[in-house]
Amino acid sequence: MKKYLLSGVAALGLLAAGAASAADLPSRKGPVVAPVYVPVFTWTGFYVGANAGYGWGNVNVNGWTGNTGDLDGFVGGAQAGYNYQMGQFVVGLEADIQGADLTSGSNFGGINIKTEYFGTVRARVGVAFDRFLPYITGGWAYGNVKTSIPSLAFSSDRTHTGGFALGAGVEYAFTNNLIGGVEYLYVDLGEKNILGAGTKVGTDFSVVRARLSYKF
């Protein structure tokens, strides 16, 4: 019996020693893979882009009895700005310059009015839903009002700098850099005197335009 007990103790010792040696061997498991985090999209950053659309509106003439008609025509140009996102809110500043063909047409014996360019500098405030951004906008506007009176062989081209612009739009970020959108603006360039102090001429118009921007 004593021999059997001694043999059992020896066998247990050998098993324990073998287990300890196996524990000291290097592990064959591969390295732990670090988790990959997808960066959250942010609207913060500078951007530049282009736009094109259609405008229509009114000719404002004080002190003249002739028919001047309404404005309408193509608009297109470029925009640049900066957005800053705070939580879900996005604030920004944008400037744009537009070429235009907004004309009242030809009115024999009346006044022909045309706006060939305009621009704005506007604040923007929006609420971001991930890559979708609805916003409102408003600020300063400027542009030219070209006037001709065929019956008087008179013409003038005045730059109006006291106007304003108000509007709203929606944008969607297709990628982290490419942003598309649609925007509505109401632009009033104000009025300036022509033919002395008796006649004031100005234009106000609406613009709907598609826009594409690249965010840095």
Nearest to 95 by CA among 84, 117, 80: 80
Each residue's pLDDT tens digit, 3-31: 544 454 444 455 455 545 544 555 566 66
Q: What is the pLDDT of residue 152?
A: 79
Percent of the chain with pLDDT over 90: 60
CA distance 72 to 114: 9
Nearest to 201 by CA among 135, 133, 148, 131: 148
Q: What is the pLDDT of residue 178?
A: 98
Among 1-10, 132-141, 151-160, the least confident range: 1-10
Do strands 132-149 and 112-127 pair parallel, antiparallel, or not at all (unpaired)? antiparallel
Each residue's pLDDT tens digit, 106-116: 554 578 899 99
| Segments making up each domain of the chain, as ranges | 45-215
Nearest to 95 by CA among 163, 43, 49: 49
| CATH architecture of the domain formed by 45-215 | Beta Barrel (2.40)
Q: What is the pLDDT of residue 146?
A: 93
For residue 85, pLDDT over 60 is answered with yes
Residue 99 or residue 152, greater confidence: 99
